[in-house]
Amino acid sequence: MRRALSLRLALQALAMKVSANLVVQLITHWKKPGESTFDLQQVVEFAIYGFVGSQIGNIIQFILEDWFPTGSAQGGGDVLPKIQGDPRQLEEKKDDDTANRDPKRRWYSISPDIIWRNVLAKLVLDQTFGLCISACVFLICTNIARVPHPYLVHVVIRERLMPLIKAGWHIWPLVAFRSLKNTERRDRKYSGLAVLVDSFESGCAQKRPSWSWARQGSYTEHGCPGFYLTGYATKITPRCDISYAQCVPVSLNPFGSVRGGYIALSAKVLRWKTPLTRIPHNTHGATGSYICDEDDNRRIIRLVLDWDLEDERDHLQHLLLLLLSSRAIDRVRHPRFDVITGHFEVADSSGGVSSVDHGNDDKSPLEDAFGIILHPAKDENTYYRVGSWNSQVIGHASHGGLNLCQDWETRTITLV
């Protein structure tokens, strides 16, 4: 397959992928100036994908053309249709063969030598087998550096491969049909479709949940490993009882509809041992509040439950509160957020989580602390994602800082 490898094609694909990604990031930043940040790593990822993916895609195109020739007029022993001009143009699959093109030929002209059953076969294989390989290369190149361990890339592929293929079927069949019908001619005017495809792929990468793929980092401040959350100026507490966990992420934060994929995280675990009691309906719509203890600088986050447990209280004997992140804005020194106690106050139907903010003396509450709530399932090391909690109840939770899922028995995570 050496004849399918082309350095020029790889550099062209690299430039187009990088350009399309930069355009998409600039558009995203223009639409959301305060929320989006420039992701240089994503640009590098698309450069690698453009360089590698173009060669793999070219090999697939040559294999399909060998198996299913487009034209019927071929000499003995020839694999591809003969063309006039420099034979190296065929080897490199150049798209600048305008000198050999009939000036009277129109875009709607169809060669009578085309074998349409071969074109159809190539289109089907390209949009199934070929698109699957290309999507896998895309997911590997854009996620290999974002997961804690390389072997977790298979989780990304398993969760995002089919949605990416289905989304690609909206645009790629048109490009593939035009490319496969005239393999010997690569028109420059169709390069715009390639740019459109590159922009589409960049858009798919932009839609990745900004907090869902954590990247392992090193905390020189505390001298122990932890994680950075992609897209957030936050750190997960380094001191943890669980080294890794896999869970179903939701939207761009722990509140919203469930999204596909997994999150690798490092967190502090709190075991909630007190049984929950039924919540009066009049507590719905209430908001949480902060209680600061002036003596020992303890921040108690009051979380209002927003779910009538009804008959589920017998099954919720204890919960796990998993702290995902804590953030403090405009502070030189990032606080270490330690969950130390958990209790349930029946009198006012609110849950309390006490935390100590080390390294900060302004007596102010943490700016953004959030996490998920787990309940042990039947299988070992498997938990139900019962709900999620957040200290900023006004900005994230519509009915209080702690929200429980109605269908929590269908949302499981596995601690690994």
Lowest mean pLDDT among 54-58, 154-158, 338-342: 338-342
Phi, psi of 34 (to 5 degrees): -90, -10
Q: Distance of CA 17 to CAs 44, 94, 197, 297, 385, Å?
A: 10, 18, 9, 51, 38
Does residue 7 sit in the same domain as residue 61? yes
Distance in angstroms (rounded) separating the CA atoms of residues 49 and 46: 5
Does residue 28 sit in the same domain as residue 70? yes
Does residue 7 sit in the same domain as residue 150? yes
Q: Give the number of C-alpha atoms closer than 13 A to the C-alpha of residue 330, restricted to the C-beta side.
A: 2
Distance in angstroms (rounded) separating the CA atoms of residues 345 and 338: 21
Lowest mean pLDDT among 149-163, 181-195, 331-345: 331-345
Task: List, in sequence order, every residue forming a beta bridge with 325; answer none if it has no partner.
Answer: 370
pLDDT in tens, 46-70: 899 989 988 888 888 888 888 888 7
- pLDDT for residue 282: 34
pLDDT above 90 as % of the chain: 1
Give 321 or 208, the one with higher predicted confidence. Answer: 321
| Structural domain harbouring 408 | 214-415
List all residues 6 or more positions away from 113 whose beta carbon is below 8 Å from its beta carbon.
71, 72, 73, 81
- Token pair 């690698």 in the structure block, residue: 48
Distance in angstroms (rounded) separating the CA atoms of residues 139 and 204: 10
Does residue 151 sit in the same domain as residue 30? yes
Domain end among 206, 225, 251: 206
Domain end among 206, 228, 260: 206
List all residues 6 or more positions away from 262 whose beta carbon is below 8 Å from its beta carbon.
152, 155, 156, 159, 212, 246, 247, 248, 249
Task: Please give the helix or strand (H or E) that residue 297 lies within, else none.
Answer: none
Does residue 166 sit in the same domain as residue 253? no
Does residue 202 sit in the same domain as residue 254? no
Does residue 99 sit in the same domain as residue 236? no
Name the domain count of the chain: 2
Give 148 or 165, the one with higher predicted confidence. Answer: 165
Domain end among 206, 237, 256: 206
Does residue 224 sit in the same domain as residue 310? yes
Candidate ranges 108-112, 147-151, 333-337; pick with highest mean pLDDT = 147-151
- Mean pLDDT (whole number) for 94-114: 54
- Mean pLDDT (whole number) for 378-404: 50
Does residue 263 sit in the same domain as residue 140? no
Does residue 237 sit in the same domain as residue 152? no
Does residue 320 sit in the same domain as residue 262? yes
